[in-house]
Structure 1
Amino acid sequence: MRIALYQARTGIDPAANADDVAGAVREAAAGGAAMLFTPEMSGLLDQDRARASRHLRTDEDDPLLAAVREAAAEAGIWVHLGSLALLGGEGGRLVNRGFVIDPGGTILARYDKIHLFDVDLATGESWRESAAYSPGGSAVIADTALGPLGLSICYDLRFASLYAALSEAGAAVLSIPAAFTVPTGQAHWHVLLRARAIESQCFVVAAAQCGAHEDGRRTYGHSLVVGPWGEVLLDMGAAERAVGYAEIDLAAIDEVRGRLPVLRHRRAFALPEPAR
């Protein structure tokens, strides 16, 4: 089955971003893809919270979500809209929420990012997602044309237990939309995505943000598709606002799991006493 990934350079104007993503939906369908994957924060990337707040909506009222649903229905294609910043989190905070949309434009699944990125980088960059966002509390698998799709977002990538739970629950494909910074991307992006594919014996699809954004941040790009043996099937490099394609054959999952049945060999175990 052919899939498409949209590697975005999302800006501070939601209307322009909506046009870009809807255009990517139409381009992916014209290119023969059964499903399009978009990055984290496909609707808005803006570090100026006062400016960004003027554009924030609930998922019922978000214009980009409405535009993507309409484009999916017109083109007859599945879409994993990687994530949007939306109103509705606990304590007045936002949610970082992804959506699975079917070819009729219906939302079949929602996932709120569980792990939030709070870190100070050596470059001087400082990120405090928990100050603005409320974390999700549930792992999600959606039934799609690709089979069972396990959902996650960006920083979730660093927590292997989430992907172990998704693979145990039957996920065949793991979607990891992201907006990785350049330093962390250069150091960890490829190795972590390949590790998640190898240990879960699933396909991994990771649509990413890329380039110098209007709000001053820089993102790493390199949207990837990785096979269940850890082989890279697509690497979009530093392309900006581009659609890339990969072929996925779910039969490869059974082959890999037959050759190396680690999922069947997983065992529960007692935790050690804390070190003193």
Structure 2
Amino acid sequence: MTTFHPTLISAADDLAATTPGKNDSWWFASRLHDEDGKVFWAKVHAMESEGACHGTVALLREADGHTSDKHTVEPLHDVKLSTDRLDVQTSILSLSGDLDELKISGTTDTASIRLALRREEPVLFSGCSGLFPFFGGTTGQFTLPGLIASGTITVEGVTHRLTGRTWCDRQWLSETSEPLRFLWLGLDLGAGRSLSVWDTEGDGTSWLTALQEDGSHLITSARRTDDRDGRWILTIPGLDARLEITPRRLDGTQGANSNVCSVTGTFDGYEIAGHGYADVVGH
């Protein structure tokens, strides 16, 4: 699949690792279901930081709340981070492929995931160009939203064949001069509509990049508030949207938590239902 959009980065080339010290991150999260409609959420994340590779694999079975996760920190000489193609391998996960076809896998102590991913939607370039200021430095970020996923999850010895959608978030950043503190949302609203939302002020003031089905991008402002039921309300005047986002904890490490989300509300005046993901860092 080929789409054209003026950017400052190349999504095809920048899937591979850059150079040590760039805090390369490959973040995959999935909403999957079996033939009976049972829902599974999964996350596979690799990130180079401070001379080590941090790996995370997390699973949530929605029906009974069963969770499983594993986190590792490994020296760079013990992992593989290819700089000429996407090829990341650690003791608990593997990522490979190109912009259109990818494979990911990961294991915890009680579960494993293996997925094949196919891209059928345009690339979302955050900030439209793929580069933007970030806590006193600069970050690059692009997203492959709505990847068509198929594969297996094995939980406690039982293998489930699953299909669904996966969100891939590729990011790297230069050295920052300020502590990281943000809430990021990746929202898959269906019909080719995806939002990458950044709240870096800590007061609900947000900005987002919206991707439409035809590949067009829009940057606009948003306002996030919390309601008494633990939901986030995201109001986006430029898109005539009001979204109710219900988060559920997937996993957490020191200083960072990941959530999976259900999304309902209105978008461009129409009722919608979707899902998404949230990373909360420094709160």
- TM-score, scaled to structure 1: 0.34
The structure with the largest helix share of the pair is: 1
- TM-score, scaled to structure 2: 0.33
The structure with the largest strand share of the pair is: 2
Structure scoring higher RCO (CA < 8 A, sep ≥ 6) equals 1
